[in-house]
Amino acid sequence: MNFPDSYFEDEVKAGFFVSAKMKSYWAMQLEVLNEIDRICRKHHIQYFAEWGTLLGTVRHRGYIPWDDDVDIGLYQYGWEQCEPSHSFGPAARNHYVFHYVISGTGTLMANDSSGNTIKYQVKSGQGFMLFPNQINTYIADQDLPWEYTWVEFDGLRAKEIVSTAGLSPDHPVYHAGSKDLRNEMMNEMLYIARHPGSSSESPFHMIGHLYLFLDYFMRSAATVRMNQSGKIRDFYIKEALSYIEQNFQNNITIEDIAAFCGLNRSYFGKIFHDTIGKSPQEFLISYRMTKAAELLKLTSLSIADIGNAVGYPNQLHFSRAFKNVYGTSPRSWRNTNKLEPD
């Protein structure tokens, strides 16, 4: 960069004395900023001025007279079709980073507000928020890896926006209450990822799309949150019951069910018991035994095969669980209740 000799002279700006030495600092910083600009444009990286640098650019058409540094930030955004078992972390971010899952599934492991690491299963149509200074790891599924798009953002109202959407370190998984708003949000995220800033675009162009993303993000999730007293619980319980129905024969745990719903175990257990009247563990056992009773009544499968079919590979454990529910052994129950062919 070329500076006129007069640039390095002492000057009074806005009533504040700026020395020639300060001017030389400014010149060096502008040289560095010019190189940053060149690199960012070459690699299609969107950057922005903030704090004093942004204020000085607007109010003073340059540096704030008493300022001696440059404040710039980088938005990270993108799209990725992950390889099987692709992982990132453990790491902590400085800003908010939101991932929306377009297809596939994977696992988020993130610290809650108490510092405990909680595991969440996140599938297509859902998303997850990484919070500033929160340690987290996320891993794509081996068989059905994630395709996702992400946006990093921050600002004075960022915390308010995320809170309005109902997300927090204790509840980092995004669920949409409106499919249409969710799709609009995804479209804005993909637009940002696929249209990096160029010299022909105003810097406000991408900022505008960022605000549209935040609007759709907040409203799509807030639709769920506004009905949190009733409908959101129904939504989570419906998700849990569906998961149990499809996986009761597998070696699933309550942690698995909670992770599928995007909730931590303790909160999931509370809303499940409040809604169903049983703990998740009690309901899972009861459901499995109901299915076992159907098989005992309608088929000639062995006791061991029936136990295995409802998630109990150990016949002794199956018989004990069945007796706790029905008050008798599987064999005795079958002898009393089995339907004989006509």
What sign for the dihedral angle of Cα 306, 311, 317, 322? negative
Residue 210 falls inside a structural domain = yes
24 is in which domain, residue-wise? 5-74
User: What separation in angstroms does the CA of 321 have from each of 59, 184, 245, 267, 309?
Assistant: 74, 48, 18, 26, 14
Residue 56 falls inside a structural domain = yes
Paired strand residues for 128? 99, 173
Out of 74, 95, 129, a domain closes at 74
Residue 260 falls inside a structural domain = no
Is the pTM here over 0.85, yes or no? Answer: no
Asked whether residue 91 falls in the same domain as residue 218, the answer is: yes
Asked whether residue 136 falls in the same domain as residue 56, the answer is: no
Residue 31 falls inside a structural domain = yes
Looking up residue 305, the CATH number of its domain turns out to be 1.10.10.60
Residue 107 confidence (pLDDT) above 90: yes
Across 239-253, average pLDDT: 89
Asked whether residue 22 falls in the same domain as residue 86, the answer is: no
Asked whether residue 29 falls in the same domain as residue 98, the answer is: no
Asked whether 96 and 132 are in contact (CB, 8 A), the reply is: yes
Which has more confidence, 78 or 200? 78
Residue 279 confidence (pLDDT) above 50: yes
pLDDT at 15: 59
Asked whether residue 104 falls in the same domain as residue 215, the answer is: yes
Paired strand residues for 137? 109
pLDDT digits (tens, 9 = 90+) for 144-164: 999 999 998 877 677 878 888
Out of 189, 206, 225, a domain closes at 225
Residue 262 falls inside a structural domain = no
Number of domains into which the chain is organized: 3
Asked whether residue 91 falls in the same domain as residue 204, the answer is: yes
